[in-house]
Amino acid sequence: MRLTILAAAALLAMPAWAQVTTYDDCIQTAMSQPSTGLSIAQNWQAQGGGDAASHCRAMALASLGSFDEAARALEVIAQGTADAPAQADLYTQAGDFQIAAGNAAAARGFFDRALAVDPASMGALDGRARTKASQGDFAGAIRDIDALLWLSPNDAEALSLRAAARRKTGDAAGALVDAEAALASDPSSAVAYFERGAARAVTGDRVGARADWQEVERLDPGGEFGQLAATNRARLPL
């Protein structure tokens, strides 16, 4: 992440007497021991740790489940930087945190801001597409994924997401094409197998759908897609 540049600058600007931590150590603590990490980050902020300390604090808050507060903390950092790619990264991460908080509208707003400063931000395009899909705006999601795939044509995850969006709009044939392309790019993708199975089921290929969903169960046992595949397979008429 480009914030490491900001972190380094903040560390260099700190007075010699400020015995705090390094950015990497702070982040590691924030992820593994978030309560301790939050205390360290806040103390570091008080000692002049700047954006590095503020970002560490946001990560600790997210690790504690305070996703909305973490997103707002990132927003403050983003507003204070003139580096467009770094600003886009921060807004994108804030959007991801708002998704985790269940705030789709707020997440979409952050992704919009990220793309306003960096239209080629793949993370923001992906995040906004997923947010639009969660809001039922599948046509809008497809437009964002189209832009993402123009930047990264063989992105299996993006192709799988577009397959799902196309299926939701009634374009089962397009969904099948995207799922096939996703599997060609990543033959071990459980999501791609799930989407191909879903597209096959919609088009009446029950045998193919059943085989794909069995493969999902093998690739993702006990996981979200593995469980969905098992449920769908059980409901599929013989």
Domains 3-169 and 170-238 alike in fold? yes
The pLDDT assigned to 20 comes to 56
The pLDDT assigned to 19 comes to 42
CA distance 123 to 129: 10
Class of domain 3-169: mainly alpha
Class of domain 170-238: mainly alpha
Three-state DSSP string of 184-212: HHCCCCHHHHHHHHHHHHHCCCHHHHHHH
Helix (H) or strand (E) run with residue 80 in it: none
The pLDDT assigned to 21 comes to 65
Mean pLDDT per 10-residue segment, the chain (238 residues): 40 39 89 94 92 96 97 97 94 98 97 97 97 96 98 96 97 97 98 98 96 97 96 91
The pLDDT assigned to 57 comes to 96
Long-range own/partner contacts, residues 204-207 (CB < 8 A, 24 or more apart): 206/236, 206/237, 206/238
Q: Where are the domains of the chain?
A: 3-169, 170-238
Exposure on the CB side of residue 79, measured as CA atoms within 13 A: 7
pTM, rounded to two decimals: 0.85
* DSSP state letters, 100-145: HHT-HHHHHHHHHHHHHH-TT-HHHHHHHHHHHHHTT-HHHHHHHH
